[in-house]
């Protein structure tokens, strides 16, 4: 069985710019993309030719071979030329006709002098139609390494055997392997290594305890044709081991130090089969230092299978390499993006393995990952530099790009970059044909959507393929759409990972399903209309196995949830959401949504505050991110709730967070952004927070819990004074309202067996416990203070978790006491509870978040005219599983005056919003920009005079021009100079593909501008809609 050895991650650090001195202060590492899982492979017999294969020995090294027979010219005479006339022509070059060539019409002329001199004379003779040298061919170098014939067929994919015929040594070019170290004693690396450096321990011990670096070294430059193991890409090369890993991780400070050491000690190529999220100047500066010293840096693209940022692969100075299989098809783990330059095989790659990692024996291993495609390119780069020593790193990169074999979508693309590296062409050999492109399915845009009735099958036949389907809903129905993918097979290089989005007829996002499961489903109550379903894979690879898309409809029933339209997720990287709030913190008069995140797996977005500004049309701008002091607590004793208040009396909404480390205040600046947070002194341990004018002086105060309940009274100048409301070990939710009818604001908090009402009085605070109606000492999970029976007095609602799952309301009586109403059943783990007038009937309704086993729902308890709560109506939702207090907020998210829902979504889905169906039609998620193109994606432009793009959004005409709408040459990436126009009436962009004759009086028809047999790429980047939002990076591929 062949194992997978995936990319080892490198973490960012805050070290200073490159210096030979290593940083002693390391940052926390980013989690590894995947741990190495290398399977050692030992030959059954001593390393010699495998049984049954004849030992051909080593190839004979030729000297100054002219490449042709030195005294023969092959000549074809004009028809009817007599034998005597042929003899006379031959005599003019002191030669004679020596016989017929094997091809009809040709004869051999043997010359006394050099054939090359005779060739020019013969070509000039009027009786000669064709003359050529009799070129000499040789058998391609076939190394005798025993694993080469059966386990290294991928070397032929990049034409390395032919390249070795051109050049089979690169000992003048040292490749630095910046990795886990190298087993320099491995027999297949004997004589190939030069002294290296351990940047972690600052010594020369480069012992490889992981095996990864030894594999990389063998791929790049193992001894070739030595009768042992494997063949290295450089045939005869040099390896400089640079050890930068300490256990599972490498730190940018060590990586930078290792790169600089390698450069200063003679490396000409640096291979970095490592990477991770996050960018730091120290690593970038080290790479720029290397390139400035004439060193070429080759980096693996990453193994995330998506286009998430990956460093150092994103740096423009490096040569970034993706991974394919032996058939030159991109793998499902290969990261992709515009920064990918080339691709090379990276699946089932055989190489040397460390004896330290394998238990003391010299072995070989097979692995998969862009870690192993990069050193193949590094070896080819070494050969190229050896053949052309005067080329700069940039020139070598351009040569490798220019000679690469196209694969996937024609021309430059984000999956293969410029194509598969072609070693033979890079060394001056004749180019060969491009790899075949998969067939086009013709459903890559909404205008080309295939109709879905009940069930159909589809394929991801092309890298980055997107399939569109059209689903008609004739009347409001309960709809469920299921996408079933082939089973993920770890022994395949290509697997479809399903993702599905549903858009309405105006191409606004309705719902989506993009988890990490083989079957994705979306559903709910959908109104009548046409819906568009987009299907594609999370990764960029193809899959020859089919997926199934199934749609079903049924009539609506009384139990269907009508209050909110289907929700939409807005991810914030890979961070897990904590809490939400709604308030105008940008100063434009529209409520914005605020979200805090957990400490999980995304350092850039963990423990942050995000603000989603509401736009005039009710949609949201991309979020603004703010650093916070949220406590990094993986056991989640802090939920980072949010309160909205004016902290300094300037009339603007500001933000307060209970961070665990204290109450942190963010004041709104005049430009609508938030100023950096400031901690209120002596508030450590803060868990929950609420805002209200507790002392009636006209400004807003804060109440928070931190093992007790505290009041922060606002004073002049934005200062707060702390005082105790109640002790007693509470770190739970706090809510504010007049709980006894005396005109003062009081505080409610959950407690074992009920709720506490902390009542404000002339002489201080009094705490009164109200027991709930359930047996035992259950602590309510969420509470809310609101008038829940229409009598004008503040009541308390509390949710009781399993095993009871009740909703308990405590009604305030005329005498100011609280009385528990009968328990009301609430299904499936109730949690956060919020209030709002859903239907504008003047009565407050309740909304309860539920979460259990990954399934989320929201229940609405509508207040009836009699002052009771109706049986809940249940709808689908997306909440974090624990549905803790503050996971949900209620407010107007689209400017229609009706309350909508914003929530901290499950997994890494970020913000979830759902819209009240009583208001304007739900704006839902973002609207797509493009409905389709006149020529379908991947189609032929041929002699098409104009290429049109049908836009869904209304564009600002001033932004549509030749700079924002470009047709790029697929080979060079350069824009073709073409007229661009926009018709606002039809929302159509037109690119004119022909050029009218410009000569005065010319009557010739317009001439095509595009070159035949050339690929092109339409790019929309920088056009704006009428709301000012920009479209970036929209791409469609074509052939001429």
Give the Cα separation of 266 and 171 in Å (integer).
12
Give the Cα separation of 287 and 256 in Å (integer).
8
Least confident of 333-337, 372-376, 617-621, 796-800: 617-621
Out of 145, 179, 325, 465, the active site residue is: 179
Over residues 656-682, the pLDDT tens digits come to 999 999 999 999 999 999 999 999 999
Taking the model in full, what pTM does it have?
A: 0.65
Give the Cα separation of 405 and 398 in Å (integer).
13
**How many residues are there in the chain?**
1040
Helix (H) or strand (E) holding 288: helix 281-292
Q: Please give the C-alpha separations between residue 1002 and each of 706, 943, 1006, in angstroms, as whole numbers.
A: 85, 21, 10
Give the Cα separation of 96 and 87 in Å (integer).
6
Output the pLDDT for position 102. Answer: 66
Q: Order of strands, edge to edge, in the sheet holding 746-751?
A: 735-737, 746-751, 754-761, 764-771
Q: How confident is the model at residue 137 (pLDDT cuts 50, 70, 90)?
A: low
Q: How confident is the model at residue 920 (pLDDT cuts 50, 70, 90)?
A: low
Helix (H) or strand (E) holding 214: helix 212-221
Output the pLDDT for position 918. Answer: 74
Name the CA dihedral angle for 323, 324, 330, 332, rounded to a multiple of 10 degrees: -70
Output the pLDDT for position 138. Answer: 53
- pLDDT at 6 exceeding the cut of 60: no
Give the Cα separation of 866 and 1023 in Å (integer).
55
Over residues 537-586, the pLDDT tens digits come to 989 999 989 999 999 998 876 555 557 776 788 999 988 898 999 999 99
Give the Cα separation of 41 and 37 in Å (integer).
13
Over residues 175-220, the pLDDT tens digits come to 999 999 999 999 999 999 999 999 999 999 999 999 999 999 999 9
Token pair recorded at residue 487: 């089973």
Judged on CB neighbours under 10 Å (0-12, 13-18, 19+), 920 is middle
| Cβ neighbours, 10 Å, residue 59 | 17
Q: Residue written as tokens 């004793």?
A: 637
Over residues 757-788, the pLDDT tens digits come to 999 999 999 999 999 988 778 899 999 999 99
DSSP-derived secondary structure letter, 287? H
Q: Are 428 and 401 in contact (CB under 8 A)?
A: no
SS3 148: helix
Out of 168, 300, 334, 371, the active site residue is: 371
| Dihedral (CA of 8, 14, 19, 23) sign | negative
Q: Are 383 and 167 in contact (CB under 8 A)?
A: yes
Closest CA to 343 of 175, 158, 540, 148: 158
Give the Cα separation of 243 and 253 in Å (integer).
12
Over residues 45-76, the pLDDT tens digits come to 333 333 322 222 322 323 334 567 889 999 99
71 in active site? no
- pLDDT at 44 exceeding the cut of 80: no
| Bond prior to 636 in cis (omega within 30° of 0) | no
Closest CA to 584 of 893, 900, 886: 893
Q: Which pairs with CB-CB distance under 8 Å and at least 24 residues apart come from 465-468? A: 465/441, 465/536, 465/537, 465/542, 466/534, 466/535, 466/536, 467/441, 467/443, 467/534, 467/535, 467/536, 468/443, 468/444, 468/532, 468/533, 468/534, 468/535
As a whole-number percent, the residues of the chain with pLDDT over 70 amount to: 88
Helices (H), 362-494: 370-387, 393-402, 423-426
- pLDDT at 18 exceeding the cut of 70: no
| Bond prior to 89 in cis (omega within 30° of 0) | no
212 in active site? yes
Token pair recorded at residue 468: 């569109």
N-to-C CA span, the chain: 44
Give the Cα separation of 626 and 630 in Å (integer).
11
Give the Cα separation of 285 and 38 in Å (integer).
32
Can you spell out the DSSP letters for 972-1005?
T-PBP---EEEETTTTEEEEE-EE---STT--PP
Residue 797 or 926, more confident: 797
Token pair recorded at residue 893: 């998210």
Closest CA to 348 of 375, 366, 374: 366
Least confident of 115-129, 263-277, 850-864: 850-864
Output the pLDDT for position 88. Answer: 92
Give the Cα separation of 673 and 128 in Å (integer).
82
693 in active site? no
Q: Which residues contact 102 (CB under 8 A, 6 or more apart)?
A: none
- pLDDT at 515 exceeding the cut of 90: no
Q: Please give the C-alpha separations between residue 105 and each of 66, 84, 128, 522, 825, in angstroms, as whole numbers.
A: 26, 16, 11, 71, 98
Q: Please give the C-alpha separations between residue 1015 and each of 259, 961, 976, 1040, in angstroms, as whole numbers.
A: 38, 22, 12, 6
Mean pLDDT over residues 937-953, rounded? 91
- pLDDT at 498 exceeding the cut of 50: yes
Closest CA to 340 of 409, 257, 289: 409
- Average model confidence (pLDDT) across the chain: 87
Closest CA to 342 of 406, 296, 295, 288: 406
C-alpha atoms less than 13 angstroms from C-alpha of 935 in its C-beta half-sphere:
22
C-alpha atoms less than 13 angstroms from C-alpha of 473 in its C-beta half-sphere:
28
Over residues 722-752, the pLDDT tens digits come to 999 999 766 789 999 999 999 999 999 999 9
Q: Are 301 and 321 in contact (CB under 8 A)?
A: yes
SS3 734: coil
Token pair recorded at residue 917: 């169906």
Write down all domains in the chain, each with its CATH number in brackets: 8-52+146-400+412-426 (3.40.50.200), 68-135 (3.30.70.80), 446-555 (2.60.120.380), 930-1039 (2.60.40.1220)
Out of 23, 168, 208, 212, the active site residue is: 212
| Cβ neighbours, 10 Å, residue 325 | 20
Q: How confident is the model at residue 1007 (pLDDT cuts 50, 70, 90)?
A: low
Q: Which residues contact 35 (CB under 8 A, 6 or more apart)?
A: 6, 8, 248
């Amino acid at each position: 069985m062949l194992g997978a050895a995936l990319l080892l991650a490198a973490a960012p650090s805050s070290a200073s710019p490159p210096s030979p001195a290593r940083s002693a202060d390391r940052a926390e590492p980013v989690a590894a993309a995947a741990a190495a899982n290398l399977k050692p492979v030992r030959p059954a017999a001593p390393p010699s030719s495998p049984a049954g294969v004849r030992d051909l020995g080593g190839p004979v090294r030729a000297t100054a071979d002219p490449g042709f027979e030195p005294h023969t010219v092959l000549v074809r005479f004009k028809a009817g030329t007599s034998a005597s006339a042929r003899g006379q022509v031959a005599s003019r070059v002191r030669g004679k006709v020596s016989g017929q060539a094997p091809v009809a019409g040709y004869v051999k002329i043997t010359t006394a002098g050099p054939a090359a001199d005779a060739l020019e004379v013969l070509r000039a003779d009027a009786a000669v139609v064709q003359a050529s040298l009799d070129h000499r061919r040789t058998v391609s170098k076939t190394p005798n390494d025993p694993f080469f014939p059966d386990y290294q067929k991928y070397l032929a994919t990049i034409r390395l055997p032919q390249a070795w015929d051109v050049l089979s040594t690169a000992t003048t070019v040292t490749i630095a392997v910046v990795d886990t170290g190298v087993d320099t004693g491995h027999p297949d690396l004997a004589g190939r290594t030069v002294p290296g450096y351990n940047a972690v321990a600052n010594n020369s011990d480069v012992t490889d305890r992981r095996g990864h670096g030894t594999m990389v070294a063998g791929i790049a430059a193992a001894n070739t044709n030595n009768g042992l193991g494997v063949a290295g890409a450089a045939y005869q090369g040099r390896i400089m081991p640079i050890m930068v890993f300490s256990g599972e991780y490498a730190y940018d400070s060590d990586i930078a130090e290792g790169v600089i050491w390698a450069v200063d000690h003679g490396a000409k190529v640096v291979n970095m089969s490592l990477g991770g999220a996050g960018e730091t100047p120290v690593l970038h500066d080290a790479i720029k230092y290397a390139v400035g010293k004439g060193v070429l840096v080759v980096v693996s693209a990453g193994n995330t299978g998506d286009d998430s940022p990956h460093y150092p692969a994103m740096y423009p100075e490096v040569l970034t390499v993706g991974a394919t299989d032996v058939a030159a098809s991109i793998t499902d783990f290969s990261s992709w993006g515009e920064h990918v330059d080339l691709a090379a095989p990276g699946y089932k790659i055989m190489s040397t393995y460390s004896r330290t990692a394998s238990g003391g024996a010299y072995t070989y291993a097979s692995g998969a990952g862009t870690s192993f495609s990069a050193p193949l390119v590094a070896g080819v780069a070494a050969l190229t530099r050896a053949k052309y020593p005067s080329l700069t790193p940039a020139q070598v990169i351009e040569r490798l790009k220019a000679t690469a074999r196209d694969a996937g979508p024609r021309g430059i693309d984000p999956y293969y970059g410029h194509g598969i590296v072609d070693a033979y062409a890079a060394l001056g050999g004749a180019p060969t044909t491009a790899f075949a492109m998969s067939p086009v399915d013709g459903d890559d845009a909404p205008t080309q959507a295939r109709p879905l009735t009940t069930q159909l099958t589809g394929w991801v036949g092309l890298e980055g393929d997107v399939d569109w389907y059209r689903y008609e809903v004739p009347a409001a129905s309960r709809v469920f759409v299921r996408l079933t993918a082939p089973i993920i097979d770890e022994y395949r290089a290509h697997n479809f990972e399903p993702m599905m989005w549903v858009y309405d007829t105006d191409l606004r996002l309705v719902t989506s399903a993009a988890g990490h499961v083989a079957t994705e489903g979306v559903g709910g109550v959908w109104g009548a209309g046409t819906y568009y379903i987009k299907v594609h894979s999370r990764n960029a690879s193809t899959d020859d196995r089919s997926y199934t898309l199934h749609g079903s409809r049924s009539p609506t029933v009384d139990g269907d949830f009508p209050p909110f339209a289907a929700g939409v997720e807005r991810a914030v990287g890979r961070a897990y959401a904590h809490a939400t709030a709604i308030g105008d913190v940008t100063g434009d008069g529209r409520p914005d949504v605020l979200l805090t995140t957990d400490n999980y797996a995304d350092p850039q977005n963990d423990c942050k505050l995000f603000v989603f500004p509401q736009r005039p049309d009710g949609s949201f701008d991309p979020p603004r991110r703010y650093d916070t002091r949220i406590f990094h607590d993986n056991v989640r004793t802090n939920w980072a709730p949010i309160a909205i208040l004016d902290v300094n009396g300037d009339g603007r909404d500001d933000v307060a967070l209970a961070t665990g480390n204290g109450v942190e205040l963010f004041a709104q600046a005049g430009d609508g952004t938030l100023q950096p947070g400031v901690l209120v002194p002596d508030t450590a341990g803060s868990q929950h927070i609420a805002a209200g004018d507790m002392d009636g002086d006209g400004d807003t105060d804060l109440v928070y819990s931190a093992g007790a309940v505290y009041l922060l009274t606002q004073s002049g100048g934005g200062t707060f004074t702390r005082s105790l409301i109640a002790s007693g070990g509470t770190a739970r939710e706090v809510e504010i309202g007049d709980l006894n009818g005396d005109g003062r604001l009081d505080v409610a908090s959950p407690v074992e067996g009920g709720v506490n009402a902390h009542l404000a009085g002339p002489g201080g605070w009094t705490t009164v416990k109200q027991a709930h109606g359930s047996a035992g000492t259950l602590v309510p999970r969420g509470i809310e203070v609101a008038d829940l029976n229409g009598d004008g007095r503040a009541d308390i609602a509390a949710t009781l978790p399993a095993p009871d799952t009740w909703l308990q309301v405590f009604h305030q009586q005329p005498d100011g006491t609280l009385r528990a109403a009968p328990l009301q059943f609430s299904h499936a783990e109730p949690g956060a509870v919020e209030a709002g007038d859903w239907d504008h009937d003047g009565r407050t309704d309740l909304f309860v978040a539920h979460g259990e086993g990954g399934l989320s729902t929201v229940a609405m308890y509508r207040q009836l005219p009699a002052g009771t709560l109706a049986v809940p109506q249940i709808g689908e939702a997306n909440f974090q599983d624990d549905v803790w207090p503050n996971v949900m907020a209620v407010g107007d998210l689209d400017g229609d005056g009706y309350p909508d829902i914003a929530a901290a979504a499950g997994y890494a889905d970020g913000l979830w919003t759902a819209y009240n169906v009583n208001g304007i039609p739900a704006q839902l998620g973002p609207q797509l920009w493009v409905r389709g193109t006149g020529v379908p994606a991947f189609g032929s432009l041929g002699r098409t005079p104009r290429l049109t793009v049908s836009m869904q959004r209304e564009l600002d005409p001033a932004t549509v021009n030749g700079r924002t709408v470009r047709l790029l040459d697929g080979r060079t990436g350069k824009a073709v100079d073409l007229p661009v126009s926009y018709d606002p009436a039809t929302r159509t962009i037109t690119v004119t593909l022909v050029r009218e004759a410009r000569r005065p009086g010319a009557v010739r028809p317009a001439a095509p501008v595009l070159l035949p047999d050339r690929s092109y790429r339409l790019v929309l980047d920088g056009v704006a809609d009428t709301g000012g939002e920009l479209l970036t990076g929209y791409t469609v591929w074509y052939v001429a």
